Structure 1
Amino acid sequence: MANSLPDEIVSEILSPALKVPEYMFSDLSLKSPFAKYSVSSSATLLVCKAWLRVATPLLYSVVVIRSKAQCRALGDALQKNPDLGRFIKKLRAEGGFGAHMHHILKFAPNVTDLFVSLQIPSSDSSAGLVAGLPLINPTRLIIFDDPDNLWKNKAVLQLMTALQGCRTKWTNTNTLLLPYRIIPFARESFVLAVCAFPGIKTVSFPIFFPDTVIREIAAIPTIEAIEIRSKPKKSVPLLTSADVRVNSLLRWAEDSDAPSRKRVYKLSARLPADPTFRPLMAIPQPIADKIWSRILFFAMLGLEPRPKNQTPHMKGVKERLATTKRLRFLLVSKLFHVSLLSRIGSHFPYLYREPALGRRRVSRFTECVLATPTLGAHIRELDIKLCDPVDRGQSLARAIPYMPRLSRLLGDSSMRFPYAGLCALAESCGATLVELSGMSFTRGDATDRSPAFFSCFTALRTLSWAVISSPMNNWDPFFTSVDAVPTDALPALEFLTLKSTEGLSVFPQMELPNLRRVSIFVHDKPAPAQFGAPAAPTPMVDFLRAHGAKIWTLRTETPIFHSVHVLTLCPNISTFVCRVDASRNYDLGASGLEVEFRHDFLSTLLVNRVPGVHVNKTRAEQIWAGIFPQLETALVHLPALREIRALPCEWPNTEHAIAKSVWVQAAERLLEKGIKLTDKGGAEWHPRLKLKR
């Protein structure tokens, strides 16, 4: 199909994939916007000959060089085909890159925009860049530097001298972009020399700062504008200088190509011309009530997105603010506050449908529900954050019987829920409750505690099980009678989180046919045995032996429970999340497995470790450098493994950091075995071009 389309149409199709936006090319932030880990855009040229012919000018129009290997490859390509250099219009060199920069600049006479960096490590050389600068004549010069970390090695000084020496040769240069918010003393002479080029008309700074150097730049006769790239907010007054010449040259500009947020339009309410006018006054009251109910639905609940991927604290704050905003509708008019409230109760489904309760509000919420029991029928989701340390949620158990439609009961681990509340929850809303998490269960005043209430939770899909330890320890178990455990309990349970082993002995006796994901956040301890008797099996091992074959995703704090490897108990898991200890289990306990053992389904492995209190980034990488060789010894037991996700992994973004990165070295070793190493966000490492010695 590509051969049947004109080249102009194919060019428009390929431009979004190959075009480099202006705001990215001229970006002067410390982290390069091109420090990405995706596949190179040059792969587009390999589709067919038509795409190769059309995409080649697009690919070479903006060239970004970030490593010596890229520089050498581009230099070799231009030497073999000098015509490619005519397409280069913008060149961004984020380093020195040795003698190959001379070849690139030699075959690129049409460069109009040049980006050079003064952050060149001492191991690099700027000789090629220095020799090639006189061969071009750009119209715009962009200089990158770190004002907080000024480098003064040989390569940087040679580049600065070469740029000053281009004063007589660069006759087209009229724009200069500088990164300095305040010009450092070590760069003052260089900045004044570059600004004194005979063709320079515009000098751009990130912000405006009244300084003596600015006045010296403004005194240069050829300067026509001092551009400030970031304009302050409307509430902040624009800074000005006492120098009249500086004020006349100031220009405020913003990047129009950079992505920005959508503008929010605010409509101002106007009073009606007729003061007796009332909306929907000519419509029958039942129809008007339905219309107002629908309007309030969209205004108070329907169009409000729920926050995701946030910390529990921030999520709770935003939801409490949303509840506060809904209450404001009661203050709009008497129609909303009195008429609708008493006649159809339109506010109740939206104010009480998903309440988010904070500190010292649980008891007041309970009193409100007990005073007006009809409110409980509207509650669908109850989210409790930062529970009152005095009440600890004990009063909530009294309001549970009045919430027959509750589908989610969420907490932040500070919520204490008694056994009596569990029984009331199972009796009142066991058929509708879908999620019960973030709670810590207590024994309360009940003496006879049976797990029979589990049979009432027929719709529960997510359960977090955490029991507060009793002062009597093992002499007072959470369930006093385990003989009546219903085998058909929790038929819909899919996600189970275990935070304590108390009461765990009842779960192996259940069938749990839909259990697929289990998270274990507790170290298993064997039950105390009688004197002279063998040690009893641990509750966690019994649980995994009963349900391990059903689990697809498993998360544990350790790969071994009481000398039993979890991989042998869960033969069908495809994702395993484990924490490697600081002193052992670097190989995930592979040394304890039989030589012929193979796990045929594990494809994704997520590993993490306990971060040290005083361990810096360099020390952490050294620790992981010792972890990976031992971790790779376990790969012989995992033939289906395709991804290892290291949660502390941070990919480097400079050539110097890539050469020393532990993560890169481990990723390239694993790629040889067909396994990709990814960071916390799932970004994988793609090997870069390398120089052959």
Structure 2
Amino acid sequence: MAENLPNELIGEILQYVLHVPEEKFQDVSEVSPFSCPSHFPSAAVLAVCKRWMIVATPLLYQVVIIRSKAQAQALERTLRGQKEFGTCIKKLRLEGGYGDATRKIILASPNVSNLCISLAIRSSDSTKGLCKALATINPSCLVICDSQKALSNASLSSLVSTLIGCFAIWTNMLRIHLSPVTSNCSESIIPSLANATSLQIVTIPLSFLGINPESLSSLTTSKSLKAIQIFSHLGNKSEEEDSDRLNDTMRRHPDLAALVSIVKRAHGPLSDAIINIAAPTDPSFFPMAHASPEVRELVWNRIIQLATDFDFCWCRSSDCEEQIALLNSTRSSISVVSKTFQRLALPYIYSHPILMENSSMKPFALALERNPLLGGYVQSIMYATQFWSDSYEYRQYLPRILQRTPRVSRICGVHSDFGYIWAPSEFLSFSWADFETLAKIAGRNVISLDKIAVYDDSDDVYGVGDVDEQLQSPAAFGLLGNLRLLECDMAVAFNVEASLISHDWLANLESLNVSYCNPSFFDVLSCLDLNSLREVVIKFECSQSIRGFLRVHGNKIQALYVDGNSNDLSVLAFCPRLTTLSLRVYQFPDPKIFLSNHPQPFITKIVIAHPDFTTSSSINTSSGNAFFSSVDFSALPALRELQIIVCQWPCNEYDIERSVWVQWSSDLAKKWKIRLTDGEGRHWRPRLATPKRSKG
């Protein structure tokens, strides 16, 4: 069937694969949007068949992105042999100078209408070819990317001077997009735009870097300029100061104020939710007026359910707070539309309540007390992961909530960031009495306890008190027969007498995540069968009780996260069925951890996490060199991936040459055929390299 399709229709289909969005081509961010290559190269479409190659080639060459000297030289060779390809180029993005190859590319591309040029030019990057060729084209849209670093060299100065000279001769240039301006172009390029004979629109983002508002006043002398569009992001507090300075400048320059328009842009997943709603044409319109009351209620019930429901995927989302704020606003709005809406919405609102702060606990608890039926609706309790757990409201009302929610199945922390200097605990704290109440009231329904911190009733929140340690009975665990996920701090000392513990407790527990605990907690777990256990996360230094736990249950565990700073932890010996091993370390783990007397046939992935670091700059290069040169993975024949969370791949040609991550990735692949990946699971794909000239 596909062979019967006309070329025009095949071209329309392939356009979706080869299309580069306008906003991506014009992106002026410090890190290029093209720095992370796609795992599906666009050129792969050309290799499907000869017909696809004929149709797709003009589409592929419509937008050309050049990010290295090797790419520029390869394109120049292609255009030299296939001159018709150059006529297809409509948009050209150059993220460097790239020598004389750039001149030949531009001369071979007479139809370029959109040009993007980077001013992140280093002294080693030649712009002679680019400068010679700029006057030979006449683009209608120009995009200038700048650098946060103030650069000063002859190549950059020559490029800026050439651009300024071209503004007066580019008669087709109607629009120019500038990046957040730094000293690389703010003092020269912006004022020179007044000389552009046909320029109509200047676009500048109002960002954290800010602009020099006074430099914009020189644009008022332009005879063709119609608008200066300054884009800012909704809710971006870092731009408020820049906006104030711009407003002050416009008050001093009324002519500038007439040109400037500040455009608010939404960003992130909420951008799709901000829409313009048209005013009703008939205010008397009543939806489903001719339907029966039963049908209307069924339809409204379904609509309200969709509008007020909670998506558990939000719990791990970085923008969870924004999503929840929008959801809570929607729930409140729906509840006050009418009595019918309120009646229909209550079961859905109370099925997954969200407690964003301590003060929300009191009204929630009182509502459950006034109307006991509401407690039967509660299936989960979500809470902000930054709670002041020692507040009066918290201690008083949490037990009253737990006593009235017999159907609760999940207690789940969601991401929240209040920006406190002294951050509250990210866990919801339970006294041991609260935990026992939960187990007695809702134990058989509970399947997930996510981010809870259980402390002894006689101690402080984390079990650090002045009284003697009291031993608690672990019987509450026996009431949680359906619990599958437990992420907790367990600062409670337990009585581990065999007569108090039944081996079949927590029979369905699949995932265990412990940030801190009393050693007796693992002693209790070592007495259980835990036949369903598959994933274990231990975020503190291994003790004797943890070693005992791994010795008992290690043969069930498939994914393990453990402290890797100890060289005497025989993880491979304890856990022969591991498929993923994650090590929490300060720099790099001791290579001895990966040695084993017997091959480990199941481990396919190792993760190295540095919880104390946020960027790769904190990594000690010599420590990394020592690790990669001495590590022996011969006991792990199935290992295919080594993920280092703080790994950061270089984003430009200059950084690639100096990146230790690229070198380590190459060494790992050559010696062990293992991929090195970053925190997002991306491996390094070698760029096209410039052929080295032979000596002699």
In 2, Cα distance between equivalents of 1:185 and 1:247: 26
Contact 1:366 1:399 in 2 (8 A): yes
Letter matched to residue 439 of structure 1: I
TM-score by length of 2: 0.79
In 1, Cα distance between equivalents of 2:276 and 2:259: 34
In 2, Cα distance between equivalents of 1:416 and 1:166: 65
1:482 counterpart = 2:484: no
Match of 1:439? 452
5+ long unaligned stretches in structure 1: 341-345, 470-476, 526-537
| CA deviation after TM superposition for structure 1 residue 80, in Å | 3.0
In 1, Cα distance between equivalents of 2:167 and 2:290: 78
Q: Deviations over 1:314-352 (max 9, x none)?
A: 757865875576456555556677xx6xxxxx5653343
Match of 2:239? none
| CA deviation after TM superposition for structure 1 residue 92, in Å | 1.8
In 2, Cα distance between equivalents of 1:383 and 1:251: 42
Aligned length: 647
In 1, Cα distance between equivalents of 2:472 and 2:408: 24
Match of 1:355? 353
Letter matched to residue 541 of structure 2: H
Match of 1:534? none
Q: Counterpart of 1:511 in 2: which secondary structure?
A: coil
In 2, Cα distance between equivalents of 1:264 and 1:99: 48
Taking structure 1 as reference, are residues 628 and 480 closer, same or farther at Cα in structure 2, changes over 3 Å only?
A: closer
Given the alignment, which residue of 526, 529, 534 partners 1:516?
A: 534
| CA deviation after TM superposition for structure 1 residue 495, in Å | 1.0
Match of 2:650? 652
Given the alignment, which residue of 575, 579, 584 partners 1:579?
A: 584
In 2, Cα distance between equivalents of 1:137 and 1:557: 60
Match of 2:300? 295
Q: Deviations over 1:348-391 (max 9, x none)?
A: 53343223333155466556545654443222112344154145
Contact 2:378 2:407 in 1 (8 A): yes
Contact 1:327 1:351 in 2 (8 A): no
Which deviates the most, 151-160 or 415-424? 415-424
1:92 counterpart = 2:98: no
Match of 1:589? 593
Given the alignment, which residue of 521, 541, 548 partners 1:542?
A: 548
5+ long unaligned stretches in structure 2: 236-242, 414-424, 459-468
Match of 2:49? 48
In 1, Cα distance between equivalents of 2:434 and 2:405: 12
Q: Counterpart of 1:261 in 2: which secondary structure?
A: helix
Contact 1:554 1:576 in 2 (8 A): yes
1:690 counterpart = 2:692: no
Larger Rg: 1
Letter matched to residue 272 of structure 2: R
Taking structure 1 as reference, are residues 451 and 280 closer, same or farther at Cα in structure 2, changes over 3 Å only?
A: farther
In 2, Cα distance between equivalents of 1:676 and 1:215: 53
| CA deviation after TM superposition for structure 1 residue 84, in Å | 2.7
In 2, Cα distance between equivalents of 1:466 and 1:244: 61
Contact 1:120 1:156 in 2 (8 A): yes
| CA deviation after TM superposition for structure 1 residue 609, in Å | 2.0
In 2, Cα distance between equivalents of 1:252 and 1:443: 56
TM-score by length of 1: 0.79
1:264 counterpart = 2:275: yes
Contact 2:190 2:216 in 1 (8 A): no
Taking structure 1 as reference, are residues 495 and 294 closer, same or farther at Cα in structure 2, changes over 3 Å only?
A: farther
Match of 1:535? none
Match of 1:409? 411
In 2, Cα distance between equivalents of 1:291 and 1:2: 47
Contact 2:471 2:494 in 1 (8 A): no
Q: Counterpart of 2:684 in 1: which secondary structure?
A: coil
Counterparts of 1:273-672 in structure 2, within 5 Å, are 292=297, 295=300, 298-299=303-304, 303-306=308-311, 308-309=313-314, 315=320, 319=324, 322=327, 326=331, 331-333=336-338, 349-357=347-355, 358-362=357-361, 365-366=364-365, 369=368, 373-385=372-384, 386-390=387-391, 393=395, 396-397=398-399, 400-410=402-412, 414-444=427-457, 449-468=472-491, 477-479=493-495, 481-498=497-514, 499-500=516-517, 501-525=519-543, 538-558=544-564, 560=566, 563-582=568-587, 585-587=589-591, 589-590=593-594, 593-594=595-596, 596-611=597-612, 618-620=617-619, 622=621, 625-626=624-625, 628-629=627-628, 633-672=631-670
In 1, Cα distance between equivalents of 2:608 and 2:325: 35
Q: Deviations over 1:225-261 (max 9, x none)?
A: 3442446799999996888987887799999xx9963
1:20 counterpart = 2:36: no
| CA deviation after TM superposition for structure 1 residue 62, in Å | 2.1
- Identical amino acids, percent of aligned pairs: 27
Contact 1:143 1:179 in 2 (8 A): yes
Taking structure 1 as reference, are residues 23 and 381 closer, same or farther at Cα in structure 2, changes over 3 Å only?
A: closer
Taking structure 1 as reference, are residues 162 and 428 closer, same or farther at Cα in structure 2, changes over 3 Å only?
A: closer
Which deviates the most, 350-359 or 426-435? 350-359
Q: Deviations over 1:531-574 (max 9, x none)?
A: xxxxxxx221222122212112111122758x331122111121
Letter matched to residue 434 of structure 1: I
Q: Deviations over 1:172-202 (max 9, x none)?
A: 54336252677969765555667536x5443
Match of 1:138? 138
CA RMSD of aligned residues (A): 4.4
| CA deviation after TM superposition for structure 1 residue 97, in Å | 0.7
